[in-house]
Amino acid sequence: MPETPTANVPKWLPLVATVLVLAGIAVATYLTIAHYTTPTVLACPDRGLINCGKVTTSSYSSILGVPLALLGLLFFIGMLPLQLPVVWRMKQPLVIWGRLAFAASGVLMIFWLIYVELYKLNAICLYCTAVHVITLGLFALTAIGTAILTEA
């Protein structure tokens, strides 16, 4: 049984992480709406390498019928409570490691999505890239916070 950590993360970390999650929810909501309505609502070039419609309407835009945009939205909604300052003060190992595992799962998905965009579709969706950056940032903050809590 791991020892219960006693240190606290710096106050800015949960705040920045929460802002990132809210930004992720906003972008993922936009992409989900575009998926269920029309990709033309995406304010994004549709020629050359930058082509949001080409990515969001591709055959890779869903897994088993579930749109990836919706999965992204659910990821951020699930991440929101985990990144709140009050939850960062919780020292239960399940919360600490569960948050890290959840953030890592997002990163693994991002690896796959970047691979699909660059190697399968030859196109980059700006909104998707924003989600990727937010997810990577969340993972970085979560890893730093987890290290502070567990290495204390």
Q: Identify which range of 20-28, 64-72, 76-84, 89-97 contacts another protein by CB under 8 A.
A: 64-72
Judged by CB under 8 A, which stretch of 7-15, 18-26, 86-94, 141-149 contacts another protein?
A: 141-149
Q: How far is the CB of 61 from another protein (least distance, A)?
A: 7
| Structure token digits, residue 119 | 């190697």
From residue 89 to residue 128, the character string flagging contacts with another protein as x (rule: CB under 8 A) and all else as - is: ---------------x--x--xx--xx--xxxxxx-----
45 binds another protein (CB under 8 A): no
> Interface with another protein by CB under 8 A: which range of 3-11, 23-31, 60-68, 69-77?
60-68
DSSP letters, the chain, are -PPPP-----THHHHHHHHHHHHHHHHHHHHHHHHHS-GGGS-S-BSSSBBHHHHHTSTTSEETTEEHHHHHHHHHHHHHHHHSHHHHT---HHHHHHHHHHHHHHHHHHHHHHHIIIIII--B-HHHHHHHHHHHHHHHHHHHHHHHHHH-
By beta-carbon proximity to another protein, the closer residue of 18 and 146 is: 146
| Residue type, position 46, single letter | D
Kindly tell me which residue out of 5, 67, 85, 93 binds another protein, with binding defined by CB under 8 A. Answer: 67
Q: Which residues bind another protein (CB under 8 A)?
A: 35, 38, 46-47, 53-54, 57-65, 67, 104, 107, 110-111, 114-115, 118-123, 136, 139-140, 143-144, 146-147, 150-151
